[in-house]
Structure 1
């Protein structure tokens, strides 16, 4: 499962670069920091999984535990940087055209906060290894969302992009639960993780349409170019604003 999720994330972002939709030179420094932190986590998670199953020999578990505290600090930084980058994009009015600005704000904020919450729960339950490993899978599944979104033909599934991505994201914990059930029965960690992910998506769908959600968006965007952008309207696509040749 760890390898499948890592492959999905690398494939999604690599596809963007190969298709010329991403640029290293034109992106601001904060996005480079964001990318290094999140892609670094992918490598750390994959290494921790291999160590956790003893793939590196008798010292694997001891090393897994030592690296785990690095991972805990890493996750905290990811949450802080993730919130900072999301708020910055909203304030600049630089939201992808296939999301309304309010939807994008809550989608990204809730995703990174739920990721952090699941990681925190997994760390608290680290001595209950069955809970720990399964909650970490659910946390990692959240991070596959942006990569999956880069592989989905978004113009064809608007305005259901978020739900379409979520339908793929939950396949990872569902696959783990099904594999478990065949061997051991349904572990409650899967139910807790899936319930958390479902609650996250429900909030993402409802908050941008609520008065409280729109008020929070306006408070975040106040005093910036994003304040002039309608929070519940889709931005124009790039080809609608690009200058015509000649």
Structure 2
């Protein structure tokens, strides 16, 4: 690397990588939900309106995530910051709507057949908590670019489990389905870690935080699903 290139901040050199990662995540999300609909595994026309709103908000978030990385890649940081506050508003609405949609899936008996009702509620709760926690960390550290962009990536990865659940043959995986979904999510984090090792010679600690949260999200599902509050909620909603 020549002297001029070595003076370029790592955050600038990494812009192309994070844009590529955001596009790859968007392809996984849209491909997962799109293929599910194209295979006739969901009746889009009969889905309740809040499911459509939830889906539209999630797709909007995914596209905004790509746009934010594109703005950073082209150096449009003022626009990136302005759109960042729009993203905060969208995320603030996504979390309660996601919780409502999960609860209504139980009420209307729309829980995927490869989950028990308590498992579905536990997974939904943990995904939303992981997303909100990582996103909050990314917002608080928005002036520390290295932390911000990695925590944003991990926050996005934390909520793409349902997309992998539609890409993978979940009925065939049985009890290993949850681990397979978590493995798909962790693959994105592992790519980010590998990029750090190649480009920086060490892994940034933000990936350690993100990986720990995502692993806890997946591994804690059966534990939370067996707790009295979740069992009571599952029974109350189904009844």
Moved over 3 A (4+): none
Aligned to 2:61: 41
Q: Any idea what the Cα deviations from partners look like across 1:117-175, whole Å, max 9, x if unmatched?
A: 11111000000000000001101112221111101111210022111100111100111
Q: How many residues align?
A: 218
Aligned to 1:218: 232
1:191 equivalent among 180, 183, 208: 208
Distance 2:187 2:233 in 1: 35
Aligned to 1:235: none
* Higher helix content, 1 or 2: 2
Structure 1: any 5+ residue segments left out of the alignment?
A: 228-246
1:30 equivalent among 50, 53, 56: 50
**TM-score scaled to structure 1, two decimals?**
0.85
> Per the alignment, in what secondary structure is the counterpart of residue 126 of structure 1?
coil
Distance 1:216 1:150 in 2: 24
Distance 1:127 1:69 in 2: 14
**TM-score scaled to structure 2, two decimals?**
0.87
Distance 2:56 2:98 in 1: 12
1:174 correspondence with 2:190: yes
Aligned to 2:147: 131
Contact 1:90 1:221 in 2 (8 A): no
2:29 equivalent among 9, 30, 48: 9
Deviation of the 1:220 alpha carbon: 5.2
Aligned to 1:202: 219
Contact 1:102 1:214 in 2 (8 A): no
Contact 1:105 1:217 in 2 (8 A): no
Aligned to 1:72: 88
Contact 1:131 1:189 in 2 (8 A): yes
